[in-house]
Amino acid sequence: MQRYKSFLKALRKLIITLVFVGLLILSIRVTQPDLVKLVSSFPKAKSIMGELIHPVLFERESEKLTVSQVVPVPCNSSENPVTPESGPRIVLDPPCGAPKDMLTLHGYDLPKNADISLRWILPTGGLLSIKNIKTDANGEINMPLEIRPITAAVDGKTAQISFEVSLPNGNFVVAKTLKDVIDAMFVTIFMALIATTIGTIIAIPLSFLAASNITRRGKLGSVVYYLVRAFLNIIRSYEPLVLATIFAMIVGFGSPFAGVIALAITTAASLGKMFSEAVESIDAGPIEAITATGANRFQVVMYAVVPQIIPDFLSFTIYHWDINVRISTIIGFVGGGGIGYFLSQRINTLQYSQAGTALLAIILVVWALDFLSSEIRKSLV
């Protein structure tokens, strides 16, 4: 009998191992890892990472030179632009075209050996990065350019080719990028704070309704208990990114309000669940004692339940604020505003050094808030 049990135990381990190996093989087939491509892309990764680890913190006082040129797409959408004969300028050959056409872009009288981020200014006002280029020793550019379909004229408004060059001419000062990052980081922190506050206010009454030892008494109480529990579970199943995307389309892409709404909803559901579990784990003794005195349900909650749950409620709330700050940085990528939105814009326009500044700020703030929330939660224990 003992040998039979040992055989079954060994067989079960073998089956579990085979299933695990099978799942690993299936995962490899589904995800299609390409180590060769990873190695061959090392130069590109080195270039990007090199800029990311050199955040823009300080810069020389400088004047900015902006050069733009209207590009009619298609040619009959507007008159061909008049190109200046001197000074910094862009010249296109031919001066207009249809989507998918190839033009030749020339730049003249530009700063020598200057780094330039070339971009389209779309008819809608948006920006579309083309590539980072460098002027030659004569301050000129000569490169092929494909007309993108997205640059086609809209309601008589035409696209433009544009770039901006900074000409250093003074002392080191705090970079504008760093100021923008600090502003965006404060937006993110306050987004998380107000979302946590709203979510907590909503979660507190829901938590009592979702606590079995408070609500689940009688048929009506049981119905309320299960309905609230189901509601919290349904809301918790939605990722903040999904909600932020939906509300960004409603209130405006890049609006911090979209992120606040998304975080407030998910925070209310998450804290409601955590608070209800804290209520269910309280000592039943004070409840029984106060109930025996003839106190009503409200008095029992106020004098027997609330004093026991305040430390847990405060600890969970502070911890969730810390979590919301981290989530806020990701929500910005889908239009929720804050530092995440700043970071996504800089990555999309290939400004990796400025993106590195945002990443540095995120790391420092998350570390500081994690330490602060940990210390506050320790003091509440």
Q: What is the mean pLDDT of residues 159-184?
A: 81
Predicted pLDDT at 296 = 78
Q: Which two tokens stand for residue 205?
A: 């009454």
Of 173, 141, 215, nearest in space to 59 by CA = 173
- Give the separation between CA 215 and CA 300, rounded to whole angstroms: 12
Kindly report the CATH number that applies to the domain delimited by 63-172: 2.60.40
End-to-end CA distance of the chain: 52
DSSP designation for 24: H
Say if CB 121 and CB 72 are below 8 A apart: no
pLDDT band of 198, cuts 50, 70, 90: very high
Of 315, 303, 325, nearest in space to 277 by CA = 315
What region, left, alpha or beta, does residue 81 occupy, with left being phi > 0 and alpha being psi -120 to 50 degrees?
Answer: beta
pLDDT at residue 201 is higher than 90: yes
pLDDT in tens, 57-101: 887 776 677 888 888 998 888 887 787 888 888 888 888 889 899
Q: Where are the domains of the chain?
A: 63-172, 177-380
Which of 132-136, 168-172, 326-330, 332-336 is predicted least confidently?
A: 168-172
Predicted pLDDT at 169 = 67
Predicted pLDDT at 194 = 92
3-state secondary structure 348-361: HCCCHHHHHHHHHH
Say if CB 79 and CB 123 are below 8 A apart: no
pLDDT in tens, 136-162: 888 889 999 999 888 888 888 889 988
Q: Which of 55-69, 194-208, 213-227 has the highest mean pLDDT?
A: 194-208
pLDDT band of 167, cuts 50, 70, 90: low
Architecture of domain 177-380: Orthogonal Bundle (1.10)
Predicted TM-score of the model (pTM): 0.65
Please tell me whether residue 65 adopts helix, strand or coil conformation. strand
Predicted pLDDT at 225 = 85
pLDDT at residue 202 is higher than 80: yes
Predicted pLDDT at 380 = 64
Q: What is the mean pLDDT of residues 117-139?
A: 86
Helix residue ranges per DSSP H, 210-283: 212-215, 218-236, 240-251, 256-280
- Give the separation between CA 76 and CA 91, rounded to whole angstroms: 19
- Give the separation between CA 344 and CA 335, rounded to whole angstroms: 9
